[in-house]
Structure 1
Amino acid sequence: MSRHVPSPLRKTARRLLHLLARPMKSDRGRGGVVVHAYRGYGSAKEVFVMGRVFRQPSLGLPFREGSLLRDVIDVVRRLFRWGVKHVEVTLYLNGRQKTVTTDRDGYFDVHLINQPLLPTDRSWHRGELSVIMPSQRTVSSTAEIYVPPAAVDLAVISDIDDTVMYTGVANKLKMMYRLFFKKAHQRTAFPGVAAFYQALFAGLDGQRRRPMLYVSRGPWSIYEVLEEFFQRNGIPVGPILFLREWGLTLQRPLPRRATEHKARLIEQMLGLYSDLPFVLIGDSGQHDPETYARIVHTYPGRIRAIYIRNVNHDASRDDAIARLAKEVAETGCDLILASDSVRMAEHARTHGLISAAGLEAVKTETRRESQLPP
């Protein structure tokens, strides 16, 4: 019996290896200090940029870019990088600047007040980041920052795990197995999700470019993997992935608690985009219905609709969510428990949240993908 790894599996493993090595490419093998900014977000008045300053080992020898050995070594380098604590990071944007200090894991969070206001004729803005090390060496990077254009009429906040994709982002190995080692016809995203989110992003006239904000309890270390997932499945990433730092170290081997992580972020977004109504999307498996219902009562009139994907099909759970839906309905908001994306899209179309073409796209995509094994 041949012991050779089948070609498709070898190709898939190679792709995964290259993805994991990708964040290491920017230093061209030199190692040292790197400033990595995640996508920023904000409004014309203020912006937020998160990221990390870390030190990583050098490549050592001039291995060819794109080679298997180079990717293996880059992945090893990634495993051995560490955060640079207590250094100052400065963000420059639109003639303004703000300096913050990294925490003990090297993470930074910049909140910059825009004066003058950022233009709203485009969605993306580029900021410059600079770190001056104790040795006086300057390390620079850039940050992409999303600001809703003037035409935006709605914001969307969605869970990821069991709402957009089948399996848990908190379980990194399981998620990467589904994403990279399942055959192409075995889906990682729920049928119709991409078309539904594209319809929400575009709005009635196809030109809204609405904020699509994704929340996860997973760690920032899977940021690139999630980006790949969104890209491969045609889901508008738009711009933000809100994750949390688990802070795994030998001294702190357990994740930091994510108490009210989602509710806190939703409240922050409601404050940031105070002139926009919201749509909230989650699943029935955890506490999304209860969390979203509390948000509706705390912020009356701000939530247009709540879509809950039914992933456990438990009668008692369905009854509990039905009771929540009645409570929410008294505030003028609809909570829809749905087993597929079509039901969500039909409600969204009826209430003017998506276009007729968007609904038809969801139906077509759901029919096609529902015929494929998960």
Structure 2
Amino acid sequence: MKASGGIKHKILTWLRLTEGSTVKVYRGYVHQQKVVVFGHVLRRSPMPRQKYRQNFWINSFALLRLFMMKPVSGVTVKVSGIEEDVRFVTEKDGFFRLEWTPDEPFPPGWHPVKVDLIRTGPESEEPIATGQGEVYWPHSTPIGIVSDIDDTFLISHSSNLRKRLHVLLTENAHSRDPFENVVAHYQLLARAGTNANALNPFFYVSSSEWNLYDYILTFCEKNNMPDGIYLLSQLKGFGEILKTGQNKHVTKFTRIVRILEAFPDMKFVLLGDDTQEDPNIYTSLVTHFPHQIRCVYLRRVNPQNAVRTQEFVDQIVATGVPCCYFRHSSDAIQHSQQIGLVENVEDQRLG
């Protein structure tokens, strides 16, 4: 048995996979004095990538490892270091969501948080593993931004599975490209009506799976995208890798609704693209929350969807909500300036 365990450990180490319980805590948020934290409990997870090289085999294997996670269901996690007993029993896919009202309100900004995986029983509970994350309490700013990821700011070829897999397998988070001028647009939105000390909050909501969380976070940090909270889709196993990014989009609608309801006094800018269901989802959001949507941006990526998308754009505009169906981010920036959303600042990177 020891030899077998030793061999297994060596194989997992060679594959750069951890063994043993891990608590993965994602970026959460604070709303109406309530703290929301979510994550996964895993019994196998990939180790953080240390080097980025433009090598097909290295990049392919690094991507495949992200789908070798093994979630743990039915175990108990609790918030660490607070008097209030806030706990959650993980769901089938190992997911947990913790929510509580702290004794003392959080000031605006980012704050660390810890979550313990505990062993429950008649004796005292003891942490088996602890995960660390952050929560964000937005400043009182004019707007919030909800943005899709794939083909909205990250070139992904979502409407073509072969191309999407090719990019995922051959590139990495350092070599992938954002659309031209998209970072400039997002940085302008982050400062719209406010300043660098109190930026508008960003919520990145995507049909991509939680498997890709670190991959997406690394890409955003490298490309100087505004910091934000990521709300992704259900974990997928190794056998489902061909379905990456093809989740049920109704859950995306629900995740955005939660954000709008959590911040009822804030107006939101919605950014998406025409490769999948963003036009439909955003039109429904405008219908249900007409007074909370400041404007909508849809990137023109898939020519086959242009006519259908334009119909949704017309519906949005008919409600009185500005909507820009654009091909280049420079056009979106110009639109934001025209409607007074961002200042008319000359950017030398445009042109």
* Cα distance change, pair 44–127 in 1 and its aligned pair in 2 (3 A): farther
Q: 1:33 aligns with which of 2, 21, 27?
A: 21
Could you tell me how far apart the structure 2 residues matched to 1:296 and 1:156 are?
14
Partner of 1:230: 220
Partner of 2:33: 45
1:41-79 deviations in Å (ceiling 9; x for gaps): 23142222111122249x9xxxxx99x9xx99x979977
Aligned partner of residue 349 in structure 2, secondary structure: helix
1:89 and 2:73 matched: no
Partner of 1:127: 113
Q: 1:248 aligns with which of 220, 227, 237?
A: 237
Could you tell me how far apart the structure 2 residues matched to 1:295 and 1:172 are?
30
1:189-231 deviations in Å (ceiling 9; x for gaps): 1000111111111223423411111122111111111111112
Could you tell me how far apart the structure 1 residues matched to 2:65 and 2:150 are?
29
1:177 and 2:170 matched: yes
Partner of 2:149: 160
Higher mean C-alpha deviation, range 86-95 or range 226-235 = 86-95
TM-score of the pair, normalised by structure 2: 0.78
Tell me if the contact between 1:311 and 1:339 (Cα under 8 Å) persists in the aligned partners: yes
Read off the aligned partner of 2:330 and give its amino acid letter: V
* Cα distance change, pair 295–205 in 1 and its aligned pair in 2 (3 A): closer
Aligned partner of residue 365 in structure 1, secondary structure: coil
- Structure 2: gaps of 5 or more residues: 1-14
* Cα distance change, pair 335–98 in 1 and its aligned pair in 2 (3 A): same
Aligned partner of residue 265 in structure 1, secondary structure: helix
Partner of 2:280: 290
Partner of 2:186: 197
Partner of 1:110: 98
Could you tell me how far apart the structure 2 residues matched to 1:347 and 1:123 are?
29
Read off the aligned partner of 2:263 and give its amino acid letter: Y
Higher mean C-alpha deviation, range 164-173 or range 251-260 = 251-260
- Structure 1: gaps of 5 or more residues: 1-19, 25-30, 60-64, 368-374
Tell me if the contact between 1:56 and 1:78 (Cα under 8 Å) persists in the aligned partners: no
Tell me if the contact between 1:155 and 1:279 (Cα under 8 Å) persists in the aligned partners: yes
Q: How do residues 130-141 of structure 1 correspond to structure 2 at under 5 angstroms? A: 130-133=116-119, 137-138=126-127, 139-141=129-131
Aligned partner of residue 344 in structure 1, secondary structure: helix
Partner of 1:5: none
Read off the aligned partner of 2:271 and give its amino acid letter: I
Please state how far the C-alpha of 1:94 moved relative to its aligned partner.
Answer: 6.5
Read off the aligned partner of 1:119 and give its amino acid letter: F
Aligned partner of residue 285 in structure 1, secondary structure: coil
Could you tell me how far apart the structure 2 residues matched to 1:356 and 1:131 are?
50
Partner of 1:219: 209
TM-score of the pair, normalised by structure 1: 0.74
1:259-280 deviations in Å (ceiling 9; x for gaps): 4122111111110111100111
Could you tell me how far apart the structure 2 residues matched to 1:239 and 1:349 are?
23
Could you tell me how far apart the structure 1 residues matched to 2:318 and 2:286 are?
10
* Cα distance change, pair 209–223 in 1 and its aligned pair in 2 (3 A): same
Read off the aligned partner of 1:225 and give its amino acid letter: Y
Partner of 1:261: 251
Aligned partner of residue 154 in structure 2, secondary structure: coil
Could you tell me how far apart the structure 2 residues matched to 1:124 and 1:56 are?
28
Read off the aligned partner of 1:213 and give its amino acid letter: F
1:98 and 2:91 matched: no
* Cα distance change, pair 249–337 in 1 and its aligned pair in 2 (3 A): closer
Could you tell me how far apart the structure 2 residues matched to 1:231 and 1:263 are?
26
* Cα distance change, pair 353–78 in 1 and its aligned pair in 2 (3 A): closer
* Cα distance change, pair 175–253 in 1 and its aligned pair in 2 (3 A): closer
Identity %: 25
* Cα distance change, pair 107–168 in 1 and its aligned pair in 2 (3 A): farther
Could you tell me how far apart the structure 1 residues matched to 2:241 and 2:278 are?
28
Could you tell me how far apart the structure 2 residues matched to 1:329 and 1:345 are?
18
